[in-house]
Chain A
Amino acid sequence: MFLAMRELRHSKARYALIMVIMLLVSFLVLFVTGLAKGLAYANISAIENMPTNYYVVQGDAEHKFRRSQLNDSNLKDVRAIVGNENATPLSMQMSTITATDLDVKADVTFFAVDMAGPIAPKVVQGAEISNDTVGSVIVDRKLEESGIKIGSVISDQQTGMTLKVAGFVEDNSYSHTPVVYINAHDWQELTTGVSQKGATDHPASFNLIAVHATSDQATSLQEGLKGVDVITQKEAIASIPGYSEEQGSLLMMIAFLFVISAVVLAVFFYVITIQKTSQFGILKAMGTKTSYLAWSVLGQVLLLSVSSLVVSLLMIGGMKMILPESMPFQLNTPTLILTSSLFVGMSLIGSLISVLKVAKVDALEAIGRVGA
């Protein structure tokens, strides 16, 4: 690194310039990655946070939850294979709610679940509801931003049915809307307009069955049951409307940014290396090993990419603090580590042609040269 460091010292402006470019690119990479993760989370957190790992949907529903319809006999078949407590029905419906006394109108997704089952909402504030409760719901905390509090009364715009907010859950979004958990009894009234007497743990027909199963059990479900599809949590998330398209375009942006950073670096270092061809010849004639010179180039690239990355990580950290809560932005440590190492890796790939060029320079070029 003797040469590498001194060269940086001598040509500060030149290397500062490329560092600024790398800084901007790496910042953008991190920002878009955070945005993609944040949007993904806002889209599918309700499904992602479910403890169940498989979902049984109707065979011709193309894996789309809301298009699927199953009934009690399906549930019985599933439970026969995985056990009663490992399979629970889920019904969902998109809707718009308003709140009395509040100037609020929000799109939500109703989730009707067995309040004693495995996917019952985990209340973080307020009271839980049971299958016997009448007229109460658990809502995603995001609705708090619109002014809804525990005890607020919301009403379904279409049916006019009013429901009291009993408690909040966190990180429960579906298709970018907050989830409203409702029990089977109230679901019946919401969807049919008829209030049934007595409690039940699930409606007669529902969209899907959430299952906690081993992969062997999943295979026997798929083989044993007619007219249904058994899909993994990943497949379920991928078929949430808009999810794949949204993530796909963001991923493409990220991929392009990675390629851009590699290409910019490659061109920059290649031009510098070409300029220094005769210097490398001289160095080799004097007895400098090719490996030393190659490491010198790689060392510079590594130093520039890592230091610009560190600065952009600090900038991202600072920006996260001033971003509004509602901004979907999420960067956890594993993602940060992955993105950072990819960035450094791409930089090194970009410097490879320069290293090859350095390796090719012949010591012979040092002799008989008049030019510098």
Chain B
Amino acid sequence: MTTAKLVMKQVTKTYGDGDSTLSVLNKLDFQVNEGEFVAVLGPSGSGKSTFLSTAGALLSPTNGEILIDGESIADKNKAELTEFRLHKIGFMFQNAQLLPYLKVEEQLLFVAKIAKLSSSESKKRSAYLLKRLGIWERRNHYPEKLSGGEKQRVAIARAWMNNPAILFADEPTASLDFKRGKEVVQMLADEVKREGKAAVMVTHDERMLEWCDRVLYLQDGILLER
């Protein structure tokens, strides 16, 4: 039996009020199962960011239900959502978005610390992740000393640090060249399989889809297979 890490049922997101409303998501249905790596494609303005923010518990939907790791996020307040994201969701952002004043290892230790992991446990896990992603030698470097690809690898490690149920990646290859971008996506796919988790990657780059289990297109507010 496969378990669903993310379920979205009839999700609608409408911006604006009164006479000028814009429905960016329109009764969208979506499910991601354990071990699955799904890519969501769409041109600029199609609503990819809105989709990712809604699925990632950053933006509440106008209508519909969202379950992450079997738990509904509908009734949670802002503080509960923050806590929920900390433990259940990993994020990868465009340009990695590492904190400039933390060394590579500290980027990971910080998220473990706010999740109240013990320091010996978090040291072990960060060493494990950094070694596997091939940036262990860079652990005492600041982000400014890393290449774009290395930064995204740290971002992958940081996103997995707290053992989230699902990872959301917002155009992780946008600032990388083709070769580095492919490497990063491959690593992301490997991690999903190895950790037995799930990931959703939003991108507009059609060349990055080689390792994805499914590819969906965001069109008119819903996700379509093509």
Chain A interface (Cβ within 8 Å of chain B)?
2-3, 6-7, 9-11, 278-279, 282-290, 292, 363-364, 366-370, 372
Of all chain B residues, the one with the shortest Cβ separation from A362 is: B58
* In the complex, B83 has a CB within 8 A of chain A: yes
Asked if A286 contacts B170 (CB within 8 A), the reply is no
Asked if A7 contacts B82 (CB within 8 A), the reply is no
**Of the candidates A287, A292, A369, A372, which one forms a contact with B85 in the assembled complex, judged by CB atoms under 8 Å apart?**
A287
Residues of B within 8 A of A364 (CB): 53, 58-59
**Of the candidates B82, B100, B114, B170, which one forms a contact with A363 in the assembled complex, judged by CB atoms under 8 Å apart?**
B82
Asked if A287 contacts B53 (CB within 8 A), the reply is no
Residues of A within 8 A of B115 (CB): 287
Asked if B86 contacts A367 (CB within 8 A), the reply is no
Q: How far is the CA of A278 from the CA of B98 in the complex (A)?
A: 11
Of all chain A residues, the one with the shortest Cβ separation from B51 is: A367
With a 10 A CB-CB cut-off, give which of B49, B82, B89 has the most chain A CB atoms.
Answer: B82
Stretch of B25-33, B105-113, B193-201, B206-214 on the interface side: B105-113
Asked whether A287 and B101 contact (CB < 8 A) given A6-B106, A367-B49, the answer is no
Q: How far is the CA of A367 from the CA of B102 in the complex (A)?
A: 21
Of all chain A residues, the one with the shortest Cβ separation from B175 is: A370
* In the complex, B136 has a CB within 8 A of chain A: no
Asked if B95 contacts A370 (CB within 8 A), the reply is yes
Q: Say whether chain A's binding surface is mostly helix, strand, loop, or mixed.
A: helix
Chain B, residues 44-85, CB within 8 Å of chain A (1/0): the string is 000011001100101100000000000000000001001111
Asked if A289 contacts B106 (CB within 8 A), the reply is no
Asked if B91 contacts A285 (CB within 8 A), the reply is yes
Q: List 12 A-B contacts (CB under 8 A).
A: A3-B102, A283-B99, A285-B56, A285-B93, A289-B82, A363-B58, A366-B58, A366-B97, A369-B94, A370-B95, A372-B95, A372-B97
Residues of A within 8 A of B110 (CB): 2-3
* In the complex, B224 has a CB within 8 A of chain A: no
Q: How far is the CA of A166 from the CA of B82 in the complex (A)?
A: 80
User: How far in angstroms is the closest Cβ of chain B from A343?
Assistant: 27
Residues of A within 8 A of B97 (CB): 278-279, 282, 366, 372
* In the complex, B87 has a CB within 8 A of chain A: yes
Of all chain B residues, the one with the shortest Cβ separation from A278 is: B97
Residues of A within 8 A of B174 (CB): 370
Residues of B within 8 A of A372 (CB): 95, 97
Residues of B within 8 A of A370 (CB): 94-95, 174
Asked whether A285 and B114 contact (CB < 8 A) given A6-B106, A369-B93, A369-B94, the answer is no
Residues of A within 8 A of B59 (CB): 364
Asked if B114 contacts A10 (CB within 8 A), the reply is no
Of all chain A residues, the one with the shortest Cβ separation from B158 is: A286
The 10 closest A-B pairs by CB, nearest first: A287-B86, A368-B49, A10-B101, A287-B85, A7-B101, A282-B97, A367-B53, A367-B49, A364-B58, A363-B58
Of all chain B residues, the one with the shortest Cβ separation from A283 is: B99
User: How far in angstroms is the closest Cβ of chain B from A20?
Assistant: 21
Residues of A within 8 A of B87 (CB): 287
Q: How far is the CA of A3 from the CA of B111 in the complex (A)?
A: 11
Q: How far is the CA of A283 from the CA of B95 in the complex (A)?
A: 15
Chain B, residues 133-163, CB within 8 Å of chain A (1/0): the string is 0000000001000000000000000100000
Asked if A286 contacts B85 (CB within 8 A), the reply is yes
Asked if B113 contacts A2 (CB within 8 A), the reply is yes
Asked if A10 contacts B100 (CB within 8 A), the reply is yes
Residues of A within 8 A of B52 (CB): 367-368
Asked if B102 contacts A286 (CB within 8 A), the reply is no
**Of the candidates B82, B84, B93, B114, which one forms a contact with A366 in the assembled complex, judged by CB atoms under 8 Å apart?**
B93
Residues of A within 8 A of B113 (CB): 2
User: How far in angstroms is the closest Cβ of chain B from A185?
Assistant: 79
Q: How far is the CA of A287 from the CA of B91 in the complex (A)?
A: 10
Residues of B within 8 A of A278 (CB): 97
Q: How far is the CA of A370 from the CA of B44 in the complex (A)?
A: 12
Residues of A within 8 A of B53 (CB): 364, 367-368
User: How far in angstroms is the closest Cβ of chain B from A12?
Assistant: 11
Asked if B93 contacts A6 (CB within 8 A), the reply is no
Asked whether A287 and B82 contact (CB < 8 A) given A10-B142, A364-B58, the answer is yes
Residues of A within 8 A of B86 (CB): 286-288
Of all chain A residues, the one with the shortest Cβ separation from B99 is: A279
Q: How far is the CA of A354 from the CA of B89 in the complex (A)?
A: 28
Of all chain B residues, the one with the shortest Cβ separation from A368 is: B49
Q: How far is the CA of A372 from the CA of B97 in the complex (A)?
A: 7
Residues of B within 8 A of A10 (CB): 100-102, 142
User: How far in angstroms is the closest Cβ of chain A from B30?
Assistant: 17
Residues of A within 8 A of B102 (CB): 3, 6, 10
Chain B, residues 168-179, CB within 8 Å of chain A (1/0): the string is 001000100000
User: How far in angstroms is the closest Cβ of chain B from A15?
Assistant: 11
List 5 other contacts, CB 8 Å, given A278-B97, A287-B89, A289-B79: A6-B101, A283-B99, A289-B114, A364-B53, A372-B95
